[in-house]
Structure 1
């Protein structure tokens, strides 16, 4: 390599490059996916949820946003995980 060295830098804690926005974007993408495009939380929605202080885990935060979406649509929290909760004909028989 003609005397040139190779340097690899791992930025595990986000000090060198802030990737916080990608986590929020992934959270919004997840919610949008599981609502089949019917709802995409805004940055404000995500910030408000995170400000509650108990939603550090993004998987759990995504699930909570899904639950709240379904409840706002007049459905139970089970609608997020149980297709038969919104469509009785979709039972496992």
Structure 2
């Protein structure tokens, strides 16, 4: 049984070949597909029951949004406990896809 893994890398991490190795066995991982985070959002947002809106920096409000949030932002439907996000986890940065 194969387990697909989705990983998000910065440009520096993507350039480092060690990012594409299994830390436990040092085996080289097979990259099935590469895509930008924006493209992944555009393809997958409906699976999570989300609405996707693109905000450009061509208006004063859009420019302020892009500067303030680095280009990515969201409006949450439910209350979120921010403190839970600060707790370290063993699988940080790795997301598994059960499909």
TM-score normalized with structure 1 length: 0.27
**Comparing both structures, which one devotes a greater share of its residues to strand?**
2
Which has the larger Rg?
1
**Comparing both structures, which one devotes a greater share of its residues to helix?**
1
